[in-house]
Amino acid sequence: MNPSLNPCDVIADFPLFSGLSSEECLSITSAGRLFEVAPGEFFFHQGEDSTMLYVILTGRTKLSQITSEGNQVIVNYFGPGEGLGIIMALNRMPYPLSAEAIEPCTAIGWSRDAMLDLMKGNSQLALNGMNMVGQRFTQMQNRFQELATQRVEQRLARALLRLVRQFGRRTEKGILIDISLSREDLAQMTGTNLYNVSRILSKWDSDGLITTGRKQVTLLKAHELVVLAEDIPPPSHTPE
Amino acid sequence: MNPSLNPCDVIADFPLFSGLSSEECLSITSAGRLFEVAPGEFFFHQGEDSTMLYVILTGRTKLSQITSEGNQVIVNYFGPGEGLGIIMALNRMPYPLSAEAIEPCTAIGWSRDAMLDLMKGNSQLALNGMNMVGQRFTQMQNRFQELATQRVEQRLARALLRLVRQFGRRTEKGILIDISLSREDLAQMTGTNLYNVSRILSKWDSDGLITTGRKQVTLLKAHELVVLAEDIPPPSHTPE
DNA sequence: CGGTCACTTGAAGTAGGTCAAATTACGTGG
DNA sequence: CCACGTAATTTGACCTACTTCAAGTGACCG
């Protein structure tokens, strides 16, 4: 009955809790613990044994992976309602990626065993977990396909559109992607390098599609980006 | 009690049934139906509404996806014990890919609702399902990373090694990948085109790493492929 | 005001994509 | 069993997208 530790009003429409009564929400959340993570700190690091899983209440988190060759790949950014470590914690494997707070974050965390017990006793919860994993699987698969078949320009356009959906904020100039977002970050999201990203953004900037700043991007003509994202390569030479 | 419709002895160590009693296995399998799918036929097509999910008993299946631009991507090959449509059927979304039998297949199939009911009544089953989805997620993520950071040659080496693990069969010459496997197939698995694959395979062939035939590959020196797969690019010019 | 960090831009090199054509294997029907 | 047609594969040549290196510019921080 402690509202500060049981923000059920907030989490009621989180996917993990959908279809659950408020009593169930209460007992599930009270089996966990509230965490606060400062920007730059990590919920967990890639390779660590996965003992905890979290659902974000507030703040944004960056999920990234480092390859054996030392290349970093940004897999995703997560915000409120999304789960961290759900997949792996329930599979008893080391975390395959690192989760870093890029803003002050609060989250509810459970130990793996606690969550497994909860799920065993509440199959709706287990199904919700499975749905979340499934969602992420689909996203991942789409990005895989993207990477396999599209050119950098299209992938970059899609990445921006995804980010806008997650972090877009209307301003008087256009739609700002409201997170710190360097060229390097975008490169790591799209499987290329910062030079390439810089060139493409510069081009779009001078074409009036976007405005760029230091670690930020604002979309001016989102529709044109959609056209780019859907490919349709420009007619190279006019065939009669 | 009909052994032909309830091959519990076979499925006992399938991941979906792990930790379940034979009574539970029995009641779960009997809620499903046995399917036989001939080579070239499909369990389901991409985009169809996902009403059924399957667990393969025998035979191999190819999972592929077609992009909006018409490019095909081979996501995976699945064999006995693996699930088809688990992710999507439980998420109430259209199948994101097509599942085609490449050998005579038998599988148990359930309607989505039947499986959801079973899982609601048996949370171990739900957890098993989640584990399977999690496994596939991890695989997908690794391949994503691969595609984002590695060159075609490495990706091809890895693809072959993966295929060997799934379909490798010792022969007197080496380890044969025992499925029909064209250059085009390999290209669609690694995000490149058949010309590129053909060139690389030819090179490896003349280096004695593999032997190739029409729609087949045999590994001779698997270890050398592992070296290639782990990258370590050849020293371009000897630095003192 | 100096230093660092993010970003830009140029130039050169390369992996890989594309197109075209030749070659080889396979299967079928005669 | 052979000849033919088709499909798989190889190979060459060219070209473009992308990477890499290098040098410079601009922005924020102390």
A142 and A154, same structural domain? Answer: no
Report chain A residues whose CB lies below 8 A from the CB of B116.
127
A93 in B contact zone (CB under 8 Å): yes
CA of A117 to C1' of D24 (A): 60
Q: At what angle do helices A183-190 and A194-206 cross, to 10 degrees?
A: 110
- d(CA B62, CA B36) in angstroms, rounded, equals 15
| Dihedral, CA of residue B36, residue B38, residue B40 and residue B43, to nearest 10 | 0
Placement of tokens 């090179």 in the chain: B203
Claim to verify: residue B33 and residue B124 sit in the same structural domain: yes
Separation CA A79–CA A60 (nearest Å): 5
User: How does pLDDT run along chain A (240 residues), one tens digit per residue?
Assistant: 444 445 566 788 899 999 999 999 999 999 999 999 999 999 999 999 999 999 999 999 999 999 888 899 999 999 999 999 998 877 888 999 999 999 999 999 999 999 999 998 998 898 898 889 889 999 999 999 999 999 999 999 999 999 999 999 999 989 999 999 999 999 999 999 999 999 999 999 999 999 999 999 999 999 999 999 986 544 443 333
Question: Residue B180, class by beta-carbon neighbours within 10 Å (0-12 exposed, 13-18 middle, 19+ buried)?
Answer: middle
Report the CATH number at residue B159.
Answer: 1.10.10.10
Query: Do B42 and B67 share a domain, yes or no?
Result: yes
The phi-psi region of residue A101 (left if phi > 0; otherwise alpha if psi is between -120 and 50; otherwise beta) is: beta
Domain match, A54 and A173 both: no
Gap from B194 CA to D1 C1', Å? 34
Residue B133 in any domain: the answer is yes
- pLDDT at residue A234 in the model: 45
- Please report whether residue A240 resides in a domain: no
Final residue of a structural domain among B147, B173, B201: B147
A126 and A159 part of one domain: no
Percentages of chain A per state (helix, strand, coil), in multiples of 5: 40, 25, 35
Whether residues A101 and A204 fall in one domain: no
The range of the structural domain enclosing residue A163 comes to 150-229
B118 & B218 share domain: no
Question: Is residue B26 a contact partner of residue B130, using CB atoms and an 8 Å limit?
Answer: no
CATH number, domain at A40? Answer: 2.60.120.10
Under DSSP, the state recorded for A72 is: E
Do residues B45 and B57 both lie within one domain? yes
- Report CA-CA distances (Å) from B85 to B16, B32, B132, B185: 13, 14, 11, 22
Report yes or no on A197 lying in a domain: yes
At a CB cut-off of 8 Å and minimum separation 6, what does B64 contact? B46, B72, B73, B74, B75, B97, B98, B100, B188
Q: Which of residues 135-174 of A touch strand D (CB under 7 A)?
A: 151-153
Of the candidates A147, A171, A186, which is a domain's last residue?
A: A147
| Residue among B193, B181, B191 at smallest CA distance from B218 | B181
Q: State the DSSP code for A16.
A: G
pLDDT digits (tens, 9 = 90+) for B37-76: 999 899 999 999 999 999 999 999 999 999 888 899 999 9
For residue A195, the model assigns a pLDDT of 98
Query: pLDDT > 90: what percent of chain B?
Result: 78
Positions of chain D reached by protein Cβ under 7 A: 8-13, 17-22, 27-28
Taken in order B123, A9, A33, A74, the sign of the CA dihedral is: positive
Q: What is the pLDDT of residue B238?
A: 37
From the CA of B151 to the C1' of D5: give the distance in Å.
Answer: 38
Tokens 């085109």 label which residue?
Answer: B193
For the record, the structure tokens of A152 come out as 């950098």
Under an 8 A CB cutoff, do A149 and B119 touch? Answer: no
Does residue A237 lie within any of the structural domains? no
Distances (CA, A) of B9 to A13, B128, B219: 42, 18, 34
Tokens of B50: 């996902």
The answer to whether residues A40 and A107 belong to one domain is yes
The values of phi and psi at residue B216, to 5°, are: -155, 155
Strand C reaches within 7 A of the A215 CB: yes
**How far is it, in rounded angstroms, from Cα B223 to Cα B209?**
9
B73/B233: higher pLDDT: B73
Judgement on whether residues B72 and B110 belong to the same structural domain of the protein: yes
SS (H, E, C) chain B: CCCCCCCHHHHCCCHHHCCCCHHHHHHHHHCCEEEEECCCCEEECCCCCCCEEEEEEECCEEEEEECCCCCEEEEEEECCCCEECHHHHHHCCCCCCEEEECCCEEEEEEEHHHHHHHHHHCHHHHHHHHHHHHHHHHHHHHHHHHHHHCCHHHHHHHHHHHHHHHHEEECCCCEEECCCCCHHHHHHHHCCCHHHHHHHHHHHHHCCCEEEECCEEEECCHHHHHHHHCCCCCCCCCCC
Instruction: State whether A58 and A69 are in the same domain.
Output: yes
* Chain B CB contacts of A231 below 8 Å: 68-69
Cβ-based neighbour number of residue A11 at 10 Å: 20
Of A147, A182, A200, which marks where a domain is finished? A147
C-alpha angle with apex A195: A189 to A201, nearest 5 degrees?
Answer: 75
Residue B154 has pLDDT above 80, yes or no: yes
Rounded Cα gap, residues A180 and A114, in angstroms: 35
Residue A66 counted as domain residue:
yes
In a domain, A2, yes or no: no
Cβ neighbors of B224 (< 8 A, separation 6 or more) are B209
Our count of domains for chain A comes to 2
The answer to whether position B237 is within a domain reads: no
